[in-house]
């Protein structure tokens, strides 16, 4: 066990897989000598060289096409999109090409590609760096979307993503990169994609969330326990597509109440899909409508407006109390 | 000094390569490719065969026995002479019109018909076929070509990647990105831009103010060459040469073939009389690649009426048999489609497999 930040855990996962599997390649804008704009690939170029870890021209669509072509030559690409707000440039190569390769070839070809990309608010980035666009990709058949909330999960999920034989979008919340350290095993281990984690056990209400909102929800849960005697069960989805509907339904059958929390706008993210799944699977166990904590339906805020825009602990506490009092 | 647009200097940098004129006379002995008599006959056979197949496909489409089809008549030299320069192990990345190259590269014809009809079997390529399915998103194949070519280079394979797209595609970002990526990695790729002068109804003059499309290579720092796309020997020579250079580590080439399609853009209701004049089509019919190659081979005593007839008969017979084979392929089920989504089905896919499995069971 070592204490690692999430970004160190991410680098460690890539290093392990580069060592384990000669087919693994890492590429993107500034990932080689520079070690990535967040140092996520630091040291990988020095250890594995230009053949395995290399820079690309500044063109996201080209990076996606490159990944697909390399996958067809039996490589296992880890491509980086510098900020997920830039993903629209690569929308075709990810959603229309990588996601569909297995299907459109009737299983003859597949794309074992991991798409790594930072996103998320709270660090006052310029325009189109922090947008929560995971909802778009959760809507694309053929993809999986993974969003870790801590160093331990990040390493296990990234190794699993790299080893997955289908395309996985791995979204790294910028605020979580260095905000805290946690115990992370030194060896390789995996966490199943599509399996949620009960981050906190509770009996009164289920809070379903992912990404940076997991930490926010955990803090809110502690305060609700102390001040209001409400015990929240916090589910960290870890993967938003496919959803772990079993864990969600199981928890609600116990608590009979739920709040979904996301950093994305109300019309975006995955919240609405979660509520529809709850209605399908556990409606008769609900004592109150499922509450939602989201960002407002505006464009992602100007940096100086982040604090009033991003959902926070109070929003979660208020919504939990509202659902409990229904 | 950068040459000014429209100047003679740019035109001189991208002269059109022609080896056979419309009468089948060799006008450029120096650049004439070395081909055996057997190779010359085989190329002619493929061109005639494909013309017949195209005619059959049009009529089968009208009868509702084929679905999506993009006519190819007129482009036989551009398509088939360039494919003829490929090695069997080279990778082919076609656009939706480039079905003939796929078939001559080894795709069973009935699978091409399944693709046209919209059946997953049309994309299930045999392992030994080095090709990607026809690309509908114009330009996407160019960036994928860069990836395949880089992969071949990394693996030190003596193979290259051939990419096809039309004149309209050169306006797409992906075509520039693909050539530029291939250029910086010095990847073994050949990009073939088949300039048939129209992207549906939009003439090439409305795509770009560039005098040639070949000169777009300059922006990627790669070689660009313009050839007479109605001249099989010129197309073959250019493609062969580009292939050899790529193998020698000299990087990618963009080949612009000046060609024409006699039929509509696709069989989905396009009416070319709305945007093309009869005079233009007549002019290009005089440049027909079959006419000039036939004249050339007849003079060499390599082609006769019987060869032509035998080839046409064979094509018709093969089309009929392929159609029969396509008809015999089982219909698609939703459970088949769900099965192609992931290596391991997700919980949602599993639930839907159960639902549709039961529905399919009940229907039987």
* Whether B223 and B349 share a structural domain: no
First-to-last alpha carbon distance for chain A, in angstroms, is 45
For chain B, which residues lie within 8 Å of any Cβ of chain A, measuring from their own Cβ?
Answer: 91, 120-121, 123-125, 127, 132-133, 137, 140, 142-152, 154-155, 161, 173-174, 177-178, 180-181, 184, 337, 339-343, 346-349
- Kindly indicate the confidence band of residue B2, based on its pLDDT and cuts at 50, 70 and 90: low
pLDDT score, position B5: 56
* Residue where the block lists tokens 């193998």: B247
Two tokens at A296?
Answer: 């407002």
CA distance B108 to chain A (A): 15
* Whether B62 and B186 share a structural domain: yes
The active-site residue, picked from A23, A110, A129, A250, is A129
B11 has a pLDDT exceeding 90: no
Taking alpha carbons only, the member of B72, B66, B80, B65 closest to residue B96 is B72
B134-173 pLDDT tens trace: 999 999 999 999 999 999 999 999 999 999 999 999 999 9
pLDDT score, position B12: 84
Assess if residue B340 is contained within a domain: yes
Which residue of A25, A32, A65 to mutate against B (max B Cβ within 10 Å)? A65
- Verify whether the Cβ–Cβ distance A106 to B340 is below 8 Å: yes
Mean pLDDT (chain B, rounded): 96
Length of chain B: 364
**Lowest pLDDT segment from B9-18, B180-189, B226-235:** B9-18
A212-240 pLDDT tens trace: 999 999 999 999 999 999 999 999 999 99
- Verify whether the Cβ–Cβ distance A69 to B151 is below 8 Å: yes
Percent of chain A's residues with pLDDT above 70: 100
Mean pLDDT (chain A, rounded): 98
- Kindly indicate the confidence band of residue B363, based on its pLDDT and cuts at 50, 70 and 90: confident
* Whether B327 and B355 share a structural domain: no
Taking alpha carbons only, the member of B177, B180, B182 closest to residue B146 is B182
pLDDT score, position B3: 55
Which residues of B participate in catalysis according to the annotation?
Answer: 261, 265, 275
- Verify whether the Cβ–Cβ distance A75 to B154 is below 8 Å: yes
* Whether B108 and B192 share a structural domain: yes
* Whether B344 and B311 share a structural domain: no
How many domains is chain B partitioned into structurally?
Answer: 2
Assess if residue B89 is contained within a domain: yes
Assess if residue B2 is contained within a domain: no
B43-84 pLDDT tens trace: 999 999 999 999 999 999 999 999 999 999 999 999 999 999
What does the radius of gyration of chain B's CA atoms come to, in whole angstroms? 21
Q: Is A190 on the interface with B (CB under 8 A)?
A: no
A88 has a pLDDT exceeding 70: yes
- Verify whether the Cβ–Cβ distance B161 to A105 is below 8 Å: no
B9 has a pLDDT exceeding 60: yes
Mean pLDDT along residues A263-289: 98
User: How many interface pairs between A and B have CB atoms less than 8 angstroms apart?
Assistant: 134
Identify all chain A residues contacting B343, using CB atoms and an 8 Å cutoff: 102, 110, 164-166
- Kindly indicate the confidence band of residue B354, based on its pLDDT and cuts at 50, 70 and 90: very high
Identify all chain A residues contacting B333, using CB atoms and an 8 Å cutoff: none
Assess if residue B1 is contained within a domain: no
CA distance A85 to chain B (A): 19
Mean pLDDT along residues B11-18: 90
Closest-approach residue (CA) in chain A for B336: A106
Mean pLDDT along residues B165-182: 98
**Residues near B234 by Cβ (< 8 Å), separated by ≥ 6?**
B17, B18, B19, B20, B28, B31, B227, B228
CA distance B70 to chain A (A): 19
Q: Between B148, B177, B347, which is nearest A69 by CB?
A: B148
A317 has a pLDDT exceeding 80: yes
Assess if residue B3 is contained within a domain: no
- Tell me if residue A173 is catalytic: no
Contact B91, B286 (CB under 8 A): no
pLDDT score, position B7: 65
- Verify whether the Cβ–Cβ distance B181 to A96 is below 8 Å: no
* Whether B145 and B177 share a structural domain: yes
- Verify whether the Cβ–Cβ distance B181 to A56 is below 8 Å: yes
Two tokens at A196?
Answer: 């949620």
CA distance A169 to chain B (A): 14
* Whether B279 and B352 share a structural domain: no
Mean pLDDT along residues B343-351: 97
d(CA A90, CA B137): 13
B222-246 pLDDT tens trace: 999 999 999 999 999 999 999 999 9
* Whether B225 and B347 share a structural domain: no
Q: Is A22 on the interface with B (CB under 8 A)?
A: no
B251-301 pLDDT tens trace: 999 999 999 999 999 988 888 989 999 999 999 999 999 999 999 999 999
CATH classification of the domain holding B224: 3.40.50.970
Identify all chain B residues contacting A107, using CB atoms and an 8 Å cutoff: 124, 339-340
Mean pLDDT along residues A141-148: 98
Question: What's the domain range around B208?
Answer: 8-331
Which residue of B335, B342, B345 to mutate against A (max A Cβ within 10 Å)? B342
Identify all chain A residues contacting B342, using CB atoms and an 8 Å cutoff: 102, 142, 144, 166
Q: Between B120, B143, B150, which is nearest A64 by CB?
A: B143
Assess if residue B322 is contained within a domain: yes
* Whether B39 and B133 share a structural domain: yes
* Residue where the block lists tokens 């024409």: B260
* Whether B272 and B246 share a structural domain: yes
Predicted TM-score of the model (pTM): 0.97
Query: How far, in Å, are B109, B142, B179, B238 from residue B290 at the CA level?
Result: 22, 29, 31, 19
* Whether B264 and B351 share a structural domain: no
Q: What is the 3-state secondary structure (H, E, C) of chain B?
A: CCCCCCCHHHHHHCCEECCECCCCCECCHHHCCCCCHHHHHHHHHHHHHHHHHHHHHHHHHHCCCCCCCCCCCCCHHHHHHHHHCCCCCCEEECECCCHHHHHHHCCCHHHHHHHHHCCHHHHCCCCCCCECCCECCCCHHHHHHHHHHHHHHHCCCCCCEEEEEECHHHHCHHHHHHHHHHHHCCCCEEEEEEECCEECCEEHHHCCCCCCCHHHHHHHCCEEEEEECCCHHHHHHHHHHHHHHHHCCCCCEEEEEECCCCCCCCCCCCCHHHCCCHHHHHHHHCCCHHHHHHHHHHHCCCCCHHHHHHHHHHHHHHHHHHHHHHHCCCCCCHHHHHHCCCCCCCHHHHHHHHHHHHHHHHHC
**A144 φ, ψ to 5°?**
-125, 145
pLDDT score, position B6: 59
Say what the ipTM of the complex is: 0.96
Assess if residue B49 is contained within a domain: yes
d(CA A197, CA A215): 13
* Whether B261 and B120 share a structural domain: yes
**B134 φ, ψ to 5°?**
-55, 135
d(CA A189, CA A159): 7
Two tokens at B207?
Answer: 């795509």
Assess if residue B231 is contained within a domain: yes
Taking alpha carbons only, the member of A187, A184, A190 closest to residue A157 is A190
Length of chain A: 326
B315-341 pLDDT tens trace: 999 999 999 999 999 999 999 999 999
**Residues near B143 by Cβ (< 8 Å), separated by ≥ 6?**
A61, A62, A64, A65, A66, A68, A69, A93, B174, B177, B178, B181
Strands A168-173 and B253-258: unpaired
């Amino acid at each position: 066990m070592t204490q690692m930040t999430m970004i160190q855990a991410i680098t460690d996962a890539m290093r392990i897989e580069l060592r384990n599997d000669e087919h693994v390649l890492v590429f993107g804008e500034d990932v080689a000598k520079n070690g990535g704009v967040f140092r996520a690939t630091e040291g990988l170029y020095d250890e594995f060289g230009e053949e395995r870890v290399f820079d690309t021209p500044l063109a996201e669509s080209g990076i996606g096409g490159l990944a697909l072509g390399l996958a067809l030559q039996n490589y296992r690409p880890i491509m980086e999109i510098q900020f997920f707000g830039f993903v629209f440039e690569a929308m075709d190569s990810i959603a229309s090409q990588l996601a569909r390769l297995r299907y459109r070839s009737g299983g003859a070809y597949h794309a074992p590609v991991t798409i790594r990309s930072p996103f998320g608010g709270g660090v006052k980035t310029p325009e189109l760096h922090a947008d929560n666009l995971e909802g778009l990709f959760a809507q694309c058949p053929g993809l999986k979307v993974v969003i870790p909330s801590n160093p331990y999960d990040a390493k296990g999920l990234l190794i699993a993503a790299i080893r997955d034989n289908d395309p996985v979008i791995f979204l790294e919340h910028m605020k979580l990169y260095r905000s805290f350290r946690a115990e992370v095993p030194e060896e390789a281990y995996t966490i199943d994609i599509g399996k949620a984690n009960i981050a906190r056990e509770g009996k009164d209400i289920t809070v379903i969330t992912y990404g940076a909102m997991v930490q926010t929800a955990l803090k809110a849960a502690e305060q609700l326990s102390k001040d209001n005697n409400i015990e929240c069960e916090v589910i960290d989805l870890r993967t938003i597509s496919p959803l772990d509907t079993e864990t969600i339904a199981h928890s609600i059958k116990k608590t009979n109440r739920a709040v979904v929390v996301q950093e994305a706008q109300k019309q975006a993210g995955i919240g609405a899909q979660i509520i529809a799944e709850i209605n399908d699977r556990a409606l008769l166990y609900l004592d109150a409508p499922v509450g939602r904590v989201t960002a407002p339906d505006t464009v992602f805020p100007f940096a100086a407006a982040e604090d009033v825009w991003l959902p926070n602990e109070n929003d979660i506490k208020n919504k939990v109390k509202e659902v409990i009092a229904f | 000094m950068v040459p000014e647009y429209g100047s003679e200097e740019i035109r001189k940098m991208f002269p059109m390569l022609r080896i056979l004129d419309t009468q089948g006379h060799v006008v450029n002995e120096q650049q004439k490719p070395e081909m055996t008599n057997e190779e010359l006959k085989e190329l002619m056979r493929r061109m005639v065969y494909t013309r017949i197949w195209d005619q059959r496909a049009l009529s089968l489409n009208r009868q509702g026995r084929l679905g999506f089809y993009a006519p190819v008549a007129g482009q036989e030299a551009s398509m088939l002479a360039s494919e003829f320069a490929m090695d069997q192990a080279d990778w082919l990345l076609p656009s939706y019109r480039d079905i003939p190259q796929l078939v001559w590269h080894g795709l069973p014809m009935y699978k091409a018909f399944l693709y046209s009809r919209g059946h997953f079997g049309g994309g299930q390529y045999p392992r030994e076929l080095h090709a990607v399915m026809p690309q509908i998103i114009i330009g996407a194949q160019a960036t994928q070509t860069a990836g395949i070519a880089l992969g071949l280079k990394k693996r030190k394979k003596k193979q290259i990647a051939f990419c096809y797209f039309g004149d309209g595609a050169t306006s797409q970002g992906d075509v520039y990105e693909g050539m530029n990526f291939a250029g910086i990695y010095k990847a073994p790729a050949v990009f073939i831009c088949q300039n048939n002068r129209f992207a549906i109804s939009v003439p090439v003059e409305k795509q770009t103010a560039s005098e040639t499309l070949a000169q777009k290579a300059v922006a990627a720092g790669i070689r660009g060459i313009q050839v007479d796309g109605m001249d099989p020997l010129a197309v073959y020579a250019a493609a062969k040469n580009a292939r050899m250079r790529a193998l020698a580590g000299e990087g990618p080439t963009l080949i612009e073939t000046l060609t024409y399609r006699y039929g509509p853009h696709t069989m989905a209701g396009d009416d070319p009389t709305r945007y093309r004049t009869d005079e233009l089509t007549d002019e290009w019919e005089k440049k027909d690649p079959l006419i000039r190659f036939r004249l050339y081979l007849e003079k060499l005593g390599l082609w006769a009426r019987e060869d032509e007839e035998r080839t046409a008969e064979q094509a018709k017979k093969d089309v009929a048999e392929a159609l029969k084979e396509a008809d015999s392929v089982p219909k698609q089920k939703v459970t088949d489609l769900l099965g192609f989504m992931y290596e391991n089905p997700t919980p949602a896919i599993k639930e839907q497999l159960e639902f549709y499995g039961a529905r399919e069971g009940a229907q039987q």
